[in-house]
Amino acid sequence: MSNFFKELKRRNVIKETLAYLVVSWVLLQVASIILPIVNAPDWVLKTVTFFLVIGLPIWIFFSWAYQVTPEGIKRTAKFSEDQTLTTTTNKRLNIIILITLLIAIGVSFINKTKPKVSSNTLTSITEKSIAVLPFDDYSSGGDTEWFCNGVTEDIRTNLSKIKGIKKVISHTSVEKFKSSNKTIPEIAKELGVSYILEGNVRKHKDEIIITAKLIDANDNQIWAENYSDNFDKVFEIQNDVSKKIVKQLKIVISPEEEKVFNTQITDNFEAYELYLRGRHLWNQQNTESVKRSIEYLEKSIKLDSTFAPAYVILAEDYILMNKFISNNEEKLIHRKKCREAIDKAIELDNSLAEAYITKGNMIGKFDWDWEEMKKMLEKGLQMEPNNSYGHMLLSKYYLIKNNYNKAIEEALLAEKLDPLNPRIGSFVAKNYFIANDYKRSLIQYEKVLKLSPDYVFAWEGVGHVQYFSGQKETAQTSWGKFLRDMGNEKMADIYSNESFDNSISYWLVGATKGEELYCSNPTVIAQAHMFINKKQGALEYLEVAYKYHNEDLPIYILEPHFYSLYNEPRFKDIVEKTGVILPDTKQEFEIID
């Protein structure tokens, strides 16, 4: 062995291999700095790395077989055993290594002093990800926020349909940065994206001026353009912005995707304005805004009965309205109107991804036809893979089918596309809860509350996790906070001063009488009965939930509240009719991070 190392030294293999590794490392560091600046494709750096790795064994063989001498390259075999390279050759090799090490130190210093980007952002740079921030409203007349939001959302939707863009952040998350003082690198880091599109809009009567800028995560402007035209050119402007962003990102698109940039959804611009106003109100997600949204959309459809996107949002309005009312008969009317609207949208335009996703949602909620729901969602997501809403709904399908790993995978993907949306964050937590991973569920709820302290519904979920983790009193405190934040001070005081069982019993009295501020959801009331071991009461309310096709019933009966009812014939009957596959409560699930 000693002779072998002696021979390696004589042939100078170790020193030349060290020189190769140091030079290769410097080349990779320099390439990682320069290539993003010139917007080189991702494969360039990968190719350089591949050839450097392949070159190492070749270089080692060359070092063993040949030597560089002042007289040129010679085979090592021509040197005698006691002969080494000349002093001049050794000095030259030492100088090369020394200079390369100095360069390496310099490159390291540059890397340390340049603006910091999180590892998540660096990863997303290779993934081609983008957030379209709400465009600023520079109009002088006021009441044009609906238009600014409309421009932003239409561009975002266009980009979300391009498969080469791996992540397009959803509306809810980017809305949090409206009028924000945070820098572009800070926003990019928080959203985990490599590019930001920002801009502003001026609207005066029928004239519009739109400015758009594409900026990378390090705050370097990649592209910018100003548009000034009449309102009837708004589709052309939005499509041109989307097309140029894709070009800047060097993404090759298919002929089908090319159609995205040549679409004009209506020729009636008054109908389009009413649609934008209606969609803006729907996004506000409260009772009054939804009612007004329906009014605007109905006016829009009256002006253009072939305007498919207006029917989609109208269907979503009717789904949302049922969350705000307790009258079951009225809910059935809204369901009928929802079906009519979404079927009309697909009849008019079978290329609308959002129409299939909304129909999948409707079929799941109203019909409990899980396979048809999945079919609609997958069709929509094929057209618009960056639709976080679609991934969240697909997660529900997998929960129903007892495939918890896939359910969590889809929920996490939805969260990735809408990272600051507390509703989606809480849904991820609920997935963990149903899969009996209480630790991860609680961590997820804590993350939601850290990002959105005002999202009071997270406290309700926290209470359930704490209760089934054996923290009964802590759960009572969490529910008390939830009730107080919801405005039910009287009930919150009961939770603070009474025992757990007394608190639940008191709440049930208010809920079953339909008193204001108390829950009217029969599935939730059934859960409350289970807390105090009133199984018959729970079964009665579950049957009420089934009678009125309560939208929450299929998911809620998967929760641990009802484990003790699994052998009850009435419960089995409900489960069979809903098409839910119950979990094996003894099963251990492989939870995906």
SS (H, E, C) 235-254: HHHHHHHHHHHHHHCCCCCC
- Compute the distance between CA of residue 227 and CA of residue 236 in angstroms, rounded to an integer: 10
DSSP assignment string, 134-159: PPEE--SSS--HHHHHHHHHHHHHHH
- Compute the distance between CA of residue 252 and CA of residue 296 in angstroms, rounded to an integer: 38
Residue with tokens 């002088």: 140
DSSP letter, residue 367: I
CATH classification (class only), 121-263: alpha beta
Residue 179's pLDDT is what?
79
Give the residue-averaged pLDDT of 137-148: 78
SS (H, E, C) 276-334: HHHHHHHCCCCHHHHHHHHHHHHHHHHHCCCCHHHHHHHHHHHHHHCCCCCCHHHHHHH
Average pLDDT, rounded, for the chain:
85
- Residue 77's pLDDT band (boundaries 50, 70, 90)? low
Angle at 482 between CA 418 and CA 393, to 5 degrees: 30
Contact indicator for 139, 242 with CB cutoff of 8 Å? no
Residue with tokens 């290779």: 126
Residue 66's pLDDT is what?
62
The dihedral formed by the CA atoms of 385, 386, 391 and 393, expressed in degrees to the nearest 10: -100
**Helices 422-434 and 438-451 meet at what angle, rounded to 10?**
170
Contact indicator for 329, 356 with CB cutoff of 8 Å? no
pLDDT digits (tens, 9 = 90+) for 214-251: 999 999 999 999 998 888 888 888 999 999 999 888 88
Specify the CATH number of the domain 265-385: 1.25.40.10
What percent of the chain lies above the pLDDT cut of 90?
55
Residue with tokens 């976080």: 388
The dihedral region occupied by 192, where left means phi > 0, alpha psi between -120 and 50, and beta the remainder, is left
Residue 187's pLDDT is what?
94
DSSP letter, residue 80: -
Smallest CA-to-CA distance from 339 within 368, 323, 318 is with 318
Gyration radius of the chain's alpha carbons: 31
Give the residue-averaged pLDDT of 375-399: 96
- Residue 205's pLDDT band (boundaries 50, 70, 90)? confident
- Compute the distance between CA of residue 414 and CA of residue 422 in angstroms, rounded to an integer: 12
The tokens of 419 are what? 């990272």
Q: Where are the domains of the chain?
A: 2-114, 121-263, 265-385
DSSP assignment string, 324-345: S---HHHHHHHHHHHHHHHHHH
Q: In one letter, which amino acid is 593?
A: D
Helices vs. strands in the chain: H and E counts, helices first: 28, 8
Smallest CA-to-CA distance from 565 within 524, 536, 523 is with 536
Residue 420's pLDDT is what?
95
Give the residue-averaged pLDDT of 298-302: 96
- Residue 501's pLDDT band (boundaries 50, 70, 90)? very high
Q: How far is CA 538 from CA 202, 455, 551, 562, in A?
A: 57, 28, 17, 9
Say which residue, 15 or 271, is predicted with more confidence: 271
Determine how β-strand 136-137 pairs with β-strand 195-204.
parallel
- Residue 86's pLDDT band (boundaries 50, 70, 90)? very low
The tokens of 155 are what? 């561009």
Residue 138's pLDDT is what?
84
Q: How far is CA 375 from CA 352, 370, 409, in A?
A: 15, 9, 18
Residue with tokens 């098409």: 579
pTM value is: 0.76
Contact indicator for 475, 504 with CB cutoff of 8 Å? no
- 216 DSSP β-pair partners: 195
| Residue 522 predicted with pLDDT over 80 | yes
